[in-house]
Each structure stands twice: as structure tokens, then as C-alpha cells.
Structure 1
Amino acid sequence: MKFWVFHIILAVTLCAKCSFAKSQSNDWRSYLEQLAEEGMDDTTIENMFQELTMLEGNPMNLNRVSREQLEQFPLINFEQAAHIAEFLDKNRPVYTVFELRNVSFLDFKTVELILPFFFAGKAEEEQPTVQEMLSRGRHEVQSRFDKTLQNRAGYGEFADSILQRYPNRKYRGEDFYTSMKYAFTYRDKIQFGLVGEKDPGEPFLQKNYPVGYDHYGLHLIIRELGKLKTLAVGDYRLSFGQGLILNNDFMISKSWGTNTIIRRTQGPKRHFSTAESGFFRGAAAVFQAGKITVIPFYSNKRFDANLSRDGEITSFKTDGYHRTPSEIEKKNNSREQVTGVNINYRNEQLQLGVSGVYHAYSRMYCPVVREYNYYSLRDSSHFNASIDYSYRLNRLAFAGETAVARNGATATTHMIQYTPSGLFSLSALYRHFPISYNAMHAQAFSEGSRVQNENGFYLGVTFSPLQKVSATTYIDLFRFPWPKDQVDKPSAGFDFYFLGTYAMDRNSNFELRYKIKQKEQNTDYPENSRKVLPYNTQKIRLRYNHALNNGWDFRTTLDAALFRRKFFPLEKGFMLSQHAGYRGGKKIRGDLFAGYFKSDTYATRLYSYERNLLTTFYMPSFHGKGIRLAASGRYAFTPRLSFSVKIGHTRYFDRETIGSGTEQISGNRRTDLFTYWQWQF
């Protein structure tokens, strides 16, 4: 205990000795890092980053922006978008973006966060010609190269006799990751992009693999063509209602904000991520006539699947890896076609939507029958339909969706949000997803990964009891009425979260985060008996943030994890880390990170919340005993050309190998190198 206290006091003292600043920018990039820490998946974070980067480079005109555009802006919620739209309707023309500070229920921190995405321009603008848009647009090229410096087992040398017997022991490609992206944007009117990517171990420009990158993507989105509001061709993402039948857009984590649980139908957005699953490939459009909006779409895409001896799909392969003969054989071995439509009516207070989605596979989908998946879809096609709504009544907002599957199973979710001021918000959500409900492209607010076999109630509060104190807390109670994978009977659990922040001044704050989640799982006893027992995981974080007037910022963090299964010993883990960042120069930026971790088991693993390169959200986890060091920097040769590099090093004190199988490293050290070029013209 003395070791912990000494290092905490030392790190905080070093930060506190520095002079205080008078101002600190509220950077949206740092905000995304916080979302990643809260457990949001990498694909969602990358999609948000790409969209926000495009919006920052093509800000919205406050004198022309529509309510629909505000509702699709990721950094504000449903209620905030409505208040901004109402303020603009009453006060246009506005002459400066700082007038957003007069919007009711919009706190100062949120205003600072969203300012880079707006400008106060002319209320009436001439419609540019296609040639003018092409000449005024912005081009951008991004290139990334990553490599692990230590050799891994899959890249070793093997005798032909060994490979003939065990062909999947060796990767067929090089030991580095690389990707290339090109994008053209003109405000939000035109978006065009091309993506190429290869993962470590995948062949790159080899004789028998002449296509170059392993994965390619292409998208084109055009907006504001009369009644045709949006046309998307190529790779895109889409969301209807609350996500009960369709959502491959953002899925917000529970702890991001208790006032973000209400969703609304989103028009098609570009898929500019290197993720090889979770998007559509085809065409979608948005037609608008008065208060009625119609969104039809069609997708025809090949995908990876695990097949049975009879050629039926037993499960979907979504990791995107094609490194060994077995993985290469599964590449694009199946095809899916999806089509659907959403018809939406909305006015200033009410929104009603009707949606339908139909999909068909080129093969029969038939997962191996287990008790937990007994009611899973077993067919080559499926259909879902739903009705969704949202309604604002003064400071109250209501929303929900009810969906039906082809077999008649009905899923539903409903929520209410009360926001009497910008300092208080109360949200509640109820969901009922029966075991017989199947929707292959659904993604909604839930504890599980699928909209199936779950009943739950969520209650969340965000409030500021004092001027310098803010808090966010929620509790989510859930039950799984049918057995799950590794749970042989119906089970239940809860998820509780608390985040408290105390701001000493505008540049220094202290955070306390506590999270406990309890669920149930099969447990094997030494006498070969099995029981379903409750277990809980607790995570605690203490963090001190401090920024200086010379561009430096410091972050001292203590993370602790506790895992307890009933009748079994307590497992513990902790990580003490220090981050220092520099943002004071136009040409040079940099970050340093150092952490010491000690964890009993994988269940108490700790995460390295270090700042990463643009579009790179590598967040490794650690268990055992060791240290983590990372350094990154960015140099801008010109305002439009920059190079970034990061090196991360992990050393373990309790093992002689890292990883397993083809990813195993002989030794107790791992070093990863990341590089990134960005050119705008």
C-alpha cells in the first residue's frame, strides 16, 4: 500500500508544481479518447473519428443548417439538437458561432466542444455548379504502416514436411499492417472515398495474390439534389428507429451519457473505416416531400463464413483476417443481399416511422444446434418490420420502437428523458427482447450483443449539484430468460456506474469512476461438477488532469480491477500510469505514457489508456506483472502535410513468452511501431 501512495503523491505533486493556465481547449479528439475508455468498440470510434474529421473540415453554416443535420451530428443528443434548431429558427441570421452560448439547456462545455463544426455564413447562398464543387473541394490522402518488432510464431521458418501436415502454422503474408485512404469532400454535399487495407500476415502484392491490398472499399455520397436529399453508392451505414431491425451506424455505450439513449432514424453515411464487416455495399437514397421522408436501400455484399461439410453457414467470420490457408479459403465464400425501406413523418415535436428489412443469403444459415441457440434463425432468408416514434413535450422526450420478425416474435423498447435544465437530466429505458426474436442487422441498447433473449430496465442521471462538481450515474437491471452460451439456465444481473468530476479550475480536475457489473456463468468444480454461479467485476479509477499555458497537459491515473466468483478467492489487479502531452506548437505535438501494472488473472486485466495516432485506436490490455511505455509525436511539414509516429513497448516480469499459437512471441517484451501520413490538398 505504501508503494501505491508514494507514487500517486509523487506524480500528482510533479503536475501541481506547474503554473496554472487561464484557458484550455475542449478538444473533440480527446473526447473520443474518453469514449474509447468507456468501452465503445474500435469500429464505432473509428467511424465517429472519420465523420467528425470530415465535418470539422467542412463546418455547417448556422444560418442554413437543418434540424435533420443537427440530429445526425454525433456530439449532441436528441434534445440538444432540438433546442439548437429552435434557437436558430427564432434568431437567424446569427453573426457568430459564439451565439450558441445562448441556447437553453446547452452547457458551456458542450458549446466549446462543438464550436469547430459550425460557422456563421450567409443565409442565402448561390447553388454552385458541379464543376465549382469539384474545384473547391478538399482532397485528402492517409497512409498507415504498423509493425511489431519481435518475431511471432506464424512468421517463422518451417520445413515443407511440417507445412504439408500443418499448413495453418505459417502466415502467408508479411508481418506488417498497412492501409491507404483517399477522400474528396465538398462541405457535406459531396463525399467520395477509396480504402485499401491489409492486416499483418496477409499477402501483399505477392505472385499468387496479385490484387494488392486484402480489402478494398469505395463510397460516393451526394446531398441536396432537390427532393432527393441524399444518394449513397458503394459502402455505407444506416440506422432505422432505435435499432431493433437495422443499425450498423454508431452504437453508444451505456456510460457515454445518460442523455444519449434516444436515437432517431439516420440517413445513409459513408463507411470510410477499414473494418471489413458491419456495413452495407450497394445503394441508398433519401427522398423528402414536405414532412414525409422515404429511405430505400439495397445491399449486395460477399462475406466470410464458417461452413459445414454440407456447405451450410454455421457462423459468421467477422475478424477480417486472411493470413493462413484456412482463413484464405473462407474469404468471401458467401453472399448476402439486403433490401428495405423506412417511411418517416416528422414535425417539430412528433416523429413516426415505419420500416421493413428483408435479407437473403446465398447459402443456408444453420448454426450447430445448442440449447442456447435453439431459437436462432435457421434459414436462407428473413424479414423484419417495425414502428418507431419520438415525441417532445416541453422538457420531456419520449421514444420507442416495436418490431416483429417473420415468425411473429415481437421485440420492443421504450424510453423517456426529462431535462429541466442543462445541469440535470434523467433517463429511463425498458426493453423486452424474446428468445424467439431474430434480426440479423439489429443493434440496440442492450447488455448482450444481440437483440434477443433479454429483458431490462435502465435508469440514468446526469447532474451538477455544485458549480465545480458534476456527476453521471446509471443502473441497468437485466435478465436473460433463456440459457446463454456458457450459462446453462436463465440468469440475471446488474450494471452500476458512477463518474464524479471535481474541477479545481478550468484547467485542472479530478475524476472518480466506479463500475460494478454482476452476471452469472457456468463454473466447474474440482470434482467435475458444474453449477451456474454469480460473479462480479468491479473497476475503480482515480484520475487527476492538469493543463498548462505552455501547451503541456498531464494525466495521472490509478486503475484497479476486482473479480469475485461466488465461493472462490478474490482476484485483483491495478495499474498506475502517467501521461504527458504537448500541444503548444503548430508543427510539433507529442505524448509520453508510462504505466506499471500487476494483475492476478485475465479477469482483472487492465487497459492502457494512452493517446494514439489519428484514426488509430489501439488500446491493449494487460494481465500479469510488467510495465508499459509509449511515445508518440506528430510533425507538420506544412499546414497540409504531416507525419505521425508512435512506439509502444511492454515488458513482463512474470513470463518468458507472450501470446499463444501463431501470435506467440518468445521472450517477455513486445514493441509495436505505428506510422501515419496525412496530406490534404
Structure 2
Amino acid sequence: MPAQSGKPTAAPWEELLYGLVSDEEDTDEDLLDEWYDVMSGLADHPLDINTATREELELIPFLNDRQIEDICEYIYRYDSMKTTGELALIESLDRPRRQLLEYIVYAGDNRKETLPSVGNMMKYGRHTLTATAKIPMYKRKGDINGYLGYPYKHWLRYDFGYRDRVRLGIVASQDAGEPMFADKNPAGYDYYSLYMQLRKTGRIESLTLGRYRVAFGMGLVAGTSFNLGKTAVLNGLGRPVNAIRVHSSRSEAGYMQGAAITLRMTKRLTASVFASYRPLDATLNRDGTAATIVYNGYHRTIGEMEKKNNTRATTAGANVRYAANGFHAGATLVYTHLNRRLSPDTEVLYRRHYAKGSDFVNWSTDYGYIHHLFTLQGETAVDRHGALATINTASVYPNDRLRMTLLHRFYSHKYTSLHANSFCDGNKVQNEHGIYAGIGWHPSPQIELSAYTDLAYFAWPKYLVSGKSYSSDNMLTATLSQGGWTLTGRYRLRLRQRDNEDKSALKNRTEHRLRLSIARSLEYGWGCKTQLDLAQTYFKRRDRGLMVTQYANRTFGHGQISMNVSYFNTTGYDSRLYAYDPGMLYTFSSQAYQGHGIHYALMARIAPWHSIRLSAKVAVTDYFDRPTIGSSYQTVYRSSTTDVEIQARIKL
């Protein structure tokens, strides 16, 4: 196993991960949590790079097709890697990805194993128990009168893994305000996730029981695993992923519950089948039908608790995939039945083509070809009514320093899928026709330049848009690294159309964002980073925002101390600004700030013994422009909040 797996301090891959997704300010928080959870699972249970198949390497979310192909070719040519240091010899792997790989792969002895005995698994497997609690040093309005439970958030996680062959565990989570051993939570915690996965056993590529996520093709039919945004696509993260993963996060969105199996039919052909029966939360109409399905997982009030598990979804699906000589093709079919009819208010024009009914069928074909100079990928899907959705990408790699990507998608305004999750400018795979072009260039090992532009057309009205509309999103990023210093600059311009005040015409909403940062890795375990964020938006009024953030950390012996301070001053919600807030293990936190105030946090991690890691964090947010914070039941009757988080992790 890799030497770094025994490090007692916080995983440095967290900062590296944030560097890849920090541009994704508007990415759904649940998707970021899922991304982080996948990375945490890989870090806890690394892959043997010498025996990993291409499909297993595709489980690593930050690798693009060219990089995966180059790794496979290197292993084939030289038989194996002696150490992961040989990753530096693969020219298509840039420094951040090489560093991330060091934490999630290891160079094994290149032996194909049979299924280990239970005794060997228990002897050589790894048990990990993590307990976390968040304690607010203040009271919300709902804590005084409105919430059914106490104000503390806490969760437990047990995970067992034997190499990259066996994984099983359970997650139990309680949000602040939710009742425990009461109401609809007689078993204690509000949320439980049990999972088990067996991999690489004869013809069985993977067998998964409990809660899991599926992703086939490019996500037009089955994309319950994560999908990030436009910078991720430029970095090669938008590639098709055929994967069934355990659901070990605390997110209540996007998972399946039941069983899934992937079989190796021949050397080039795999087949996957999955079945799921899971409860859903729904807002009900007066006639008992479901108006909307709710995935936030909150059950704090009487109204939220009434929605808990009031609807059931039965889902079955299958996928076949053929891959040979760089070419791959697949077909996916997914059927879902809801025990309550989904009946949104279609009298509202923008909801006219929302998903409705009790039965949903989607099928698709995905296809692609991978060459060392270019890759072609795509998927075309239809729903039960014949409405079409298609997405196609082409990436060109003239050399190891230059990459260019072109992506086209067309999602009919009538296309509906309960499990679709793919690249889009809006928030769903529906009502969008767009083209994206991006370029990344390394003129030297120290300099990286990247840019993209994305244009989209929406044929049907959207929320806050009464007619056909357009959007434009553009970004330019430059990074200079030299002698331990890293200087980064990024500018983003977005244009979106919205209704004017009397809804007689559309008006452009213009958004400018600028980020400048300088980071320094110092000797003796010191590191620091200074970041400046600016925002300016124009719509009904002009909004401005400014934020300055300072990070510092010190790693020593058996521990680590880190701090961050953010001063922010914005004139409205549209000019809100984002900053990474280091947190507990298995928690990815990117905070949004608006108004005038300061946020500061101090976190310490220590490993008094090799198998035990303790963490504590204190975070304070002071507002200078308001006597209260929040609204409704989340209202805090003071101008500052202090949160304390503690975590204990035992690994045996």
C-alpha cells in the first residue's frame, strides 16, 4: 500500500482537489460532496495501478481519456510500475494530477488475485470509524420554537475495505433540528446509508448491495454520479464514465437502493444490471399526487417531516458496453415507476413540460473513439414520448502541451428523465441547445493558460424568463508556478437573459468575476495563500462585491494547524463571493458570502497514536451590516455566529 496512507495529518489532496474545482462556483453542493466522497473512498482504498483495468482507472474522476490511455500503454509496454514515482514519466499527466494520483494509487506486485478468504480479509483489511459533531454556539429561531429536534449536527461513518477488492460500511447522519428516536425516526438517526461492494471476482467486475450510484454514457439516462461544470470539461472531467459506486456520502440525492452487478461477458464486452426500491420526499397536491420531489433531506419541522418517505420509486436498468482498439459503444435502458403520480403545476408556462406521470422510460446509445491525438465521445437518448437529447464532444491533443475541446448538446424542451445528470448551462437536462469550446495550453512547465466560451439557447420559457432566451459564459485563466510560488489569475464574464420588471421584454443580466491568488509552499511545513475576489453584476441595479482571503497552515510531526480569514463586502446577493473553507474529513466546504463582514476559522488536527486522528475547528462569521442573520426558522437574533466542529477517526 502507498506510504502516504498512514500519514496522520489531513490529506493534502483536499487542497489539490479544490484547485481543480474552485472555478465551479455554481456547481450543486451535493455534487461537490459526491466528488469529495469518491476521492475519500479512493484515498482510503487505493487502486493497484499495475493490475487496474481501464474501467477501474475511469473511476478516477480527474483523469481524462488521453491520460488513462497513456497510463494503460505505459503498464503494457513496461509490464508494471516499480513505484508511483514513474507517473512523472507519463507526459500527459500534469503536476496536480500526478500529485493527486500519489494518494489514490499504489504500485503493487502485479499479481492477479483470486477472492481472498474471510480470514485474510479480516486480517489484512482496514476498519475506519469516524464520528463528527457540529455545535452552534447560538440559537436559531427554529431551535426556540419550530424545529422538532436539538440544534446539533452529527454523523457516524464505519467503513471496511480490503485493498480495492471489498468495501462495506454504514453512514448515519443527523441534521441540526431533526428529531432522534422520535417521530418518523424510531431507529435513531434521520438518515442511514448501508453499502457493500465486491470487485474483481472471476467474471464479476463488481457486485453492489445497499445504496449505490450509477453512471453510464454521458449521463443523459443514468447519471446519478457527479457531474461538474465547464472548467471540469476543459480539464477532461466531462468524459463518459461507466461506473457503479457505493453511496457512502450523506447526500440524500441521486442514489439507488437495492442491488447492481457488472459482468465481464468477454474480454471486450461487459453487461450491467441494477434494481432499486427507495423512498422519496415529495410535496403533495391536495389530490394526493406529488407536485415536486424534494432531495434536500431536511426533516426539521412538522411540514418537512410530513414529506419524509411519502413516495416510493422502483427503478430497474441495464447497460451493455463494448470496447476494443480505442473504440467503445454502449446502450442503456432505465425504467422508473412512482407509486404516486408526479403532477407539477403545468399551468405555469415554464413548468409545462416538466416530468409528469407514474412511469418513466429512457434509453440511449453512447459511443466514442480514443486516439493518442484526439478523442470523440457522445450519447443520444430518447424518453418514452420520443423526445430527444444528445451530447457530443471532440477533444484534440496535438501535443502534450495543448488540448482543445468542442462540445455540442441539444436537449429538447420536451425531454424528461428522472436520473439524467450531464453537462448543461441550466439546472437540468432539458430545454437547451448549446455549444462549448475550450482550450488549455502549457507553453512551458511553469505556465498554464486556459479559456472557454459557452453559448446556449433555450427554446422554451424558464424560471424568471417568459420567452426564448440566450446565455453566454466565458472564462480565461492563467497560472504561473516557479520556485514554490504559484500565481493564478482568472476572469469570468456571464450574460443571461431575464424578464424586465413588467415582463414585456428580456434584459441581459451581466456578471463579471475576477480572482487573483498567490500561494507559497515554505520550508519546515509552512504554507500560505492570499486570494482576492471581485464581482460586479448589472441587471435591475449594479451590485459589487469584494473579498480578501488569507490561508495559512503548518504541518508538524503528528499534526497540522490551519487558519483562514475572509473579509467580504458585497452590495447584494447577485455579487456574492465564494471561498474554500477547510473542514473535517469527508466534508467539502465552499462557502458563499454576501453583505459586509468577516469570517475566520482555526482548525487543528493531531494524531496522538498512529491509528487515531483527532480534529477540531472553530469558525466565526461577524456581520457589520445587520442585527440578525438568516430568515424564517434559520434566523439568528445576533450579528455573529460561532460554530465548533469536532471529529475523531480510528483506523485499524
**TM bin (shorter chain):** over 0.9
What is the 5 A alignment of 1:366-405? 366-369=343-346, 370-405=348-383
Secondary structure, counterpart of 2:214 in structure 1: strand
Q: 1:364 to 1:532 in 2, by over 3 A?
A: same
Q: 1:576 to 1:394 in 2, by over 3 A?
A: closer
How far did residue 125 of structure 1 move?
4.9
CA contact (8 A) 2:21 2:231 kept: no
Aligned-partner Cα distance in 2 for 1:502–1:241: 35
**Do structure 1's residue 308 and structure 2's residue 285 form an aligned pair?**
yes
What is the 5 A alignment of 1:270-419? 270-290=246-266, 291-369=268-346, 370-419=348-397
Aligned-partner Cα distance in 1 for 2:444–2:203: 49
Write the letter of the residue equivalent to 1:559.
D
Aligned length: 638
CA contact (8 A) 2:65 2:370 kept: no
How far did residue 551 of structure 1 move?
0.7
Aligned to 1:447: 425
Q: 1:207 to 1:98 in 2, by over 3 A?
A: closer
Q: 1:29 to 1:208 in 2, by over 3 A?
A: closer
CA contact (8 A) 1:32 1:45 kept: no
How far did residue 672 of structure 1 move?
1.5
What is the 5 A alignment of 1:242-261? 242-256=218-232, 258-261=234-237
RMSD: 1.8
Aligned-partner Cα distance in 1 for 2:112–2:155: 38
Aligned-partner Cα distance in 2 for 1:624–1:55: 38
What is the 5 A alignment of 1:38-117? 38-39=23-24, 40-117=27-104
Aligned to 1:10: none
The more displaced of 58-67 and 656-665 is 58-67
Secondary structure, counterpart of 1:84 in structure 2: helix
Write the letter of the residue equivalent to 1:395.
L
**Do structure 1's residue 542 and structure 2's residue 520 form an aligned pair?**
no
The more displaced of 26-35 and 95-104 is 26-35
Aligned to 1:11: none
**Do structure 1's residue 34 and structure 2's residue 19 form an aligned pair?**
yes
How far did residue 311 of structure 1 move?
0.3
Q: 1:490 to 1:112 in 2, by over 3 A?
A: same
CA contact (8 A) 1:459 1:475 kept: yes
Q: Calculate the TM-score normalised by the size of structure 1.
A: 0.91
Aligned to 1:167: none
Aligned-partner Cα distance in 2 for 1:501–1:263: 24
Aligned-partner Cα distance in 2 for 1:67–1:188: 14
How far did residue 97 of structure 1 move?
2.0
Aligned to 2:552: 580
Aligned partner (choices 524, 527, 532) of residue 553 of structure 1 = 527
Aligned-partner Cα distance in 2 for 1:206–1:371: 41
Write the letter of the residue equivalent to 1:374.
R
Greater C-alpha radius of gyration: 1
Q: 1:119 to 1:265 in 2, by over 3 A?
A: closer
Write the letter of the residue equivalent to 2:403.
S
CA contact (8 A) 2:62 2:237 kept: no
How far did residue 647 of structure 1 move?
1.2
**Do structure 1's residue 663 and structure 2's residue 634 form an aligned pair?**
yes
What is the 5 A alignment of 1:378-527? 378-505=356-483, 507-524=484-501
Aligned to 1:3: none
CA contact (8 A) 2:136 2:643 kept: yes
Aligned partner (choices 109, 120, 124) of residue 107 of structure 2 = 120
Q: 1:111 to 1:530 in 2, by over 3 A?
A: same
Q: 1:94 to 1:465 in 2, by over 3 A?
A: closer
CA contact (8 A) 1:503 1:509 kept: yes
Residue segments in structure 2 that go unaligned for 5+ positions in a row: 1-9
CA contact (8 A) 2:21 2:232 kept: no
Secondary structure, counterpart of 2:580 in structure 1: coil
Aligned-partner Cα distance in 1 for 2:381–2:200: 31
Q: 1:174 to 1:101 in 2, by over 3 A?
A: same
Q: 1:661 to 1:93 in 2, by over 3 A?
A: closer
Q: 1:114 to 1:208 in 2, by over 3 A?
A: closer
Write the letter of the residue equivalent to 2:321.
N
Q: 1:641 to 1:341 in 2, by over 3 A?
A: same
How far did residue 126 of structure 1 move?
4.8
How far did residue 353 of structure 1 move?
0.3
The more displaced of 205-214 and 554-563 is 205-214
Write the letter of the residue equivalent to 2:140.
R
Aligned to 1:570: 542
Q: 1:591 to 1:94 in 2, by over 3 A?
A: closer
Aligned to 1:140: 128
Aligned partner (choices 133, 151, 155) of residue 175 of structure 1 = 151
Aligned-partner Cα distance in 2 for 1:217–1:543: 39
Aligned to 2:7: none
Aligned-partner Cα distance in 2 for 1:293–1:227: 9
How far did residue 36 of structure 1 move?
4.8
Write the letter of the residue equivalent to 1:571.
D
Residue segments in structure 1 that go unaligned for 5+ positions in a row: 1-24, 158-169
CA contact (8 A) 1:586 1:636 kept: no
Aligned to 1:9: none
CA contact (8 A) 1:262 1:399 kept: no
Q: Calculate the TM-score normalised by the size of structure 2.
A: 0.95
Cα deviation code 1:457-512 (max 9, x no counterpart): 0001111123421112110110101100110001001111111111132x111110
Write the letter of the residue equivalent to 2:447.
V
Write the letter of the residue equivalent to 2:643.
D
